[in-house]
Amino acid sequence: MNLPFIDTIWTVRGSLALIPPRTSAETFAALDDQFQADGTRTAIDGDTLTFRKKDPRAQDKMAIYRSGTLTVEQGQTTSRLVYAMNSGTLLFCFALPFFFVAVALLLKDAKTSGLVFAGIFAALYIAGRILEPWLIRKAFTKRLNGEAEAPDTAPVAARDPGAPLQQSAHHA
């Protein structure tokens, strides 16, 4: 299901240049530790890695993500990692302010507390929507490019992580 813009609520997308350029096999090997976590299943098909998580550990660096894809795209002399990942936690946090506003309106004894928590979750959602993409980009950059911060690459077309990925024209 392709829901452009709306799925930005729960989908984290990004891309980073691989310095020096790497093949998909080298890239996924470098990221392997990231996916060696309880409740995580991965599958590699050509230049695309697909993962799915169930009940990840609290300290799993990717605990907020439920599923996603990572693709290595090869240019003439460059390569880049493109990722799109779904987060059930982001969606849940996004929905919570609406839920607690409803609680505040329906329960006469919970008006103040319901509205206060609705505000807290709205703030938490904004914080998480900024923080978590930054953290995962930092983690990928560290594993792939060492400490060097990878420059952001050109915007990537909106993609449904659940849909089949387009194969890169240049396979390593």
Partner 1 sequence: MNGVRVGKRVIGADSPVTVGWDNLPKVEGGPFKRMFFTYFQPAVLLALVLFWMYAPDSIAKASTAIGIGIGFKVLLYILEWVNPRYKSWSLTWKELVVDLFYVAIAYTLIRYLGKNFGSDVWAEHILKSFDTEKFTWFTSMPLLVQAFLITLFADICYYWMHRGMHNWYPLWLSHSVHHYITQLNINKGQIGNPTEIFLIGLGIGGFFDFLPRAALLAGSLGMSISIYQHANIRFNTPRWWLFLFNTTEHHSVHHSLDYEASRSNYCNTYIFLDRIFGTCVDGEAELLGMEGGRRMSIPEQMTYTFTEGYKSSKAFLQRRLHPAAVPAE
Binding site for partner 1 (CB under 8 A): 38, 55-59, 63-64, 89, 92-93, 96, 100, 103-104, 107, 109-110, 113-114, 117, 120-121, 124, 127-128, 131-132
What CA–CA distance (Å, rounded) separates 37 from 27? 18
Nearer to partner 1, 30 or 61 (CB): 61
What CA–CA distance (Å, rounded) separates 155 from 166? 16
* Cα dihedral: 38, 44, 47, 49 (round 10): -30
Give the Cβ contact number of residue 59 at 10 Å. 7
User: What's the closest the beta carbon of residue 56 comes to partner 1, in angstroms?
Assistant: 7
User: What's the closest the beta carbon of residue 103 comes to partner 1, in angstroms?
Assistant: 5
Nearer to partner 1, 43 or 107 (CB): 107
Amino acid in position 128: G
Residues making up the chain, counted from first to last: 172
Amino acid in position 87: S
Nearer to partner 1, 12 or 17 (CB): 12
Nearer to partner 1, 126 or 163 (CB): 126
What CA–CA distance (Å, rounded) separates 97 from 100? 5
User: What's the closest the beta carbon of residue 101 comes to partner 1, in angstroms?
Assistant: 11
User: What's the closest the beta carbon of residue 135 comes to partner 1, in angstroms?
Assistant: 8
User: What's the closest the beta carbon of residue 17 comes to partner 1, in angstroms?
Assistant: 27
For 59, the enclosing helix (H) or strand (E) is none
Nearer to partner 1, 20 or 119 (CB): 119
Q: Strand pairing partners for 11?
A: 86
